[in-house]
């Protein structure tokens, strides 16, 4: 189970942001993406997740093997914690394992609706969603936003266990998760300020 | 997909889910008509078919922008796009859930409201039948409109402008069924055409909706 990226070119709205990005992530590896705001970390992750087309290069990974976690958690305020997690587990065809609630310190919040949770608690719920998808690859965009120190430690422990069971992760983050991780600074891959993709205004339809 | 279907129904039933809103809107619009046109039974009976269909159509329109907009705002749509269920299935399931929470209640309420408009006795069965066959098309076409405008802030008005013209054929044949029944004519021909519209849009539009969502998610 590996993610293999070769000479990847990604952009946003037709403008190339990153060019020539190449890396390998094997089972048990974490790749931390670094770089200043606007360098294209989110675009790179979205491209890897298949949410936007790449402008060039190759991404080799088994289909349906990666889970994407973005700024927005996909948590429904009117559903309870259990209902939210059960929904995402069933969409991915898995049962919800009971230990997920302990892993993210949600056991005492199970029957609260998500709207009643604090921002950090909602974030923990959003991260717990990653655990119930059963996917081996995790693509995480700033996963620790609004988490306190204890929750960051819980999250790091979850990633550690995930890696031990053959998973891998690509994480865009500014804080140190204290994981044994490779760090990829995206600054050298910044695309030259070339003109927009020649596909022009038809880009959305191609 | 069953999980998504159940969640959408659950969300619609919860507080702020909008279930009953379309029904209340339908009730009020139809109740307002006698106030506007006067209580003359003959006048009301003549316009009843059109008013009931138009009211149902507008009530249906009211809840369309919830179909994808809420899931887009909280990121659930992106996560569904990366989940192992096809987006075409997501669009179809959401249209079905929308019909069950708006189209079906409207269909069941319409005969009761027909009484308010002195709808002739022979037309009640046809009214219910025409709405039962026609409202699924409203939901499916509306889902397509919602898919096109997802991601546009306050795109509700734009969506109405896109969807309303697409509703024209459904409205023509749907209201025609009831009008023919009111006049004692045979409504089979518009009934078949209405069924064709519903079946064709249910078969084709989920693919168009999924394509529109994919583009809007980029």
Q: Give contacts of B75 with chain A, Cβ < 8 Å.
A: 70-74
Q: Please indicate whether, in this complex, the C-beta atoms of B84 and A49 are within 8 angstroms of each other.
A: no
pLDDT in tens, B51-96: 999 999 999 998 888 888 888 988 889 888 888 889 999 999 999 9
Interface membership of A91 toward B (CB under 8 Å): yes
pLDDT at A130: 87
CB atoms within 10 A of CB B6: 16
Please tell me if residue A206 touches chain B, with a CB cutoff of 8 Å: no
Answer whether residue A54 shows pLDDT above 90: no
How far is the alpha carbon of B164 from chain A, nearest alpha carbon, in Å? 24
Which of A78-82, B19-23, B50-54, B193-197 shows the lowest mean pLDDT across its residues? B19-23
Mean pLDDT of A172-177: 82
pLDDT of B73 reads: 87
Can you tell me the distance from the alpha carbon of B11 to that of A138, in angstroms, rounded to the nearest whole number? 28
Q: How many residue contacts between A and B have a Cβ separation below 8 Å? A: 75
- Taking every pair of Cα atoms in chain B, the longest distance, rounded to a whole number of angstroms, is 58
* Whether the predicted pLDDT of A14 surpasses 80: no
Q: Is the pLDDT of residue B11 over 90?
A: no
Check residue A53 and give its pLDDT: 86
pTM (two decimals): 0.88
Mutate to test the interface with B, among A43, A64, A87 (most CBs of B within 10 A): A87
In the predicted structure, residue A178 carries a pLDDT above the cut 70:
yes
pLDDT band at B159 (very low <50, low <70, confident <90, very high): very high
Convert the pLDDT of each residue in A66-112 to its tens digit. 888 888 888 888 888 988 888 888 888 888 888 888 888 888 888 88
Across residues B191-198, what is the average pLDDT? Answer: 96
């Amino acid at each position: 189970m590996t993610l293999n990226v070769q000479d990847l070119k990604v952009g946003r709205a037709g403008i190339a942001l990153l060019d020539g990005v190449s890396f390998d992530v094997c089972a048990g590896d974490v790749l931390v993406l670094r770089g200043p705001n606007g360098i294209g970390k989110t675009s790179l992750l979205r491209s890897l997740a298949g949410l936007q087309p790449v402008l060039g290069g190759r991404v080799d990974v088994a289909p349906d093997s990666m889970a994407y976690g973005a700024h927005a958690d996909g948590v429904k305020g009117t559903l309870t914690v259990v209902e939210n997690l059960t929904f995402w587990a069933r969409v991915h065809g898995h049962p919800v394992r009971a230990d997920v609630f302990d892993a993210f310190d949600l056991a005492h919040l199970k029957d609260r609706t998500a709207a009643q949770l604090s921002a950090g608690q909602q974030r923990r719920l959003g991260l717990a969603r990653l655990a119930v998808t059963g996917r081996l690859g995790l693509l995480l965009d700033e996963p620790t936003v609004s988490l306190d120190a204890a929750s960051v430690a819980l999250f790091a422990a979850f990633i550690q266990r995930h890696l031990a069971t053959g998973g891998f992760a690509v994480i865009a983050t500014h804080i140190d998760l204290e994981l044994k991780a490779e760090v990829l600074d995206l600054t050298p891959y910044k695309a030259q300020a070339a003109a927009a993709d020649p596909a022009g205004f038809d880009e959305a339809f191609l | 997909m069953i999980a998504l279907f159940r969640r959408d129904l659950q969300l619609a039933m919860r507080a702020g889910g909008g279930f009953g809103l379309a029904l209340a809107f339908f009730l009020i619009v139809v109740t307002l008509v006698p106030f506007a046109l006067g209580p003359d039974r003959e006048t009301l009976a003549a316009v009843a078919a059109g008013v009931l269909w138009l009211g149902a159509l507008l009530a249906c329109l009211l809840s369309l922008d919830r179909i994808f907009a809420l899931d887009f705002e909280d990121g659930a749509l992106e996560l569904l796009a990366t989940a192992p269920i096809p987006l075409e299935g997501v669009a179809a399931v959401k249209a079905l859930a929308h019909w069950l929470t708006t189209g079906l209640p409207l269909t069941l309420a319409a005969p009761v409201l027909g009484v308010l408009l002195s709808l002739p006795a022979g037309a009640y069965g046809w009214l219910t039948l025409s709405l039962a066959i026609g409202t699924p098309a409203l939901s499916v076409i509306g889902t397509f409109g919602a898919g096109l405008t997802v991601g546009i802030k306050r795109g509700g008005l734009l969506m109405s402008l896109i969807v309303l013209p697409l509703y024209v054929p459904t409205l023509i044949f749907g209201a025609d069924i009831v009008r023919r029944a009111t006049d004692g004519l045979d409504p089979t021909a518009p009934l078949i055409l209405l069924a064709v519209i519903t079946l064709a849009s249910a078969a084709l539009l989920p693919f168009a909706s999924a394509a529109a969502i994919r583009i809007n998610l980029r």
